Amino acid sequence: MRVVAELPRPDCKITIFSMNMKFVIKFEQGVLEQTYKLSEMDVTGGLDGVFQLLDEEFIASVVERFKGMNHDFHDAYQRHEV
């Protein structure tokens, strides 16, 4: 797996990998991460096509999902640490 692009942002880090004819898009925020995989054959324009998928609306939904993930993890931790 090789890194083909990194997009640092204030709300999350985005790294795009190429592996076995797939693009792997990884979003990181603290200890949490979300990963999306898509075939290079399904993306028109290669890496530029991936950048087009990463519009502000999609990134906002990813960041919102991080909030839910963080809440879920915190709740699970509290249930087992009390």
pTM: 0.90
pLDDT in tens, 11-69: 999 999 999 999 999 999 999 999 999 999 999 999 999 999 999 999 999 999 999 99
**Domain boundaries of the chain, sorted by first residue:** 2-81
Alpha carbon dihedral 65, 47, 53, 57, in 10-degree steps, equals: 60
> Residue 29 in contact with residue 21, Cβ under 8 Å?
no
pLDDT for the residue 19: 95
C-alpha triplet 19, 25, 26: angle, nearest 5°: 110
The better pLDDT of the pair 82, 31 is held by 31
Q: What is the pLDDT of residue 81?
A: 77
In this prediction, residue 8 carries a pLDDT of: 87
Mapping DSSP onto H, E and C, the string for 5-36 reads EEEECCCCEEEEEEECCEEEEEEEECCEEEEE
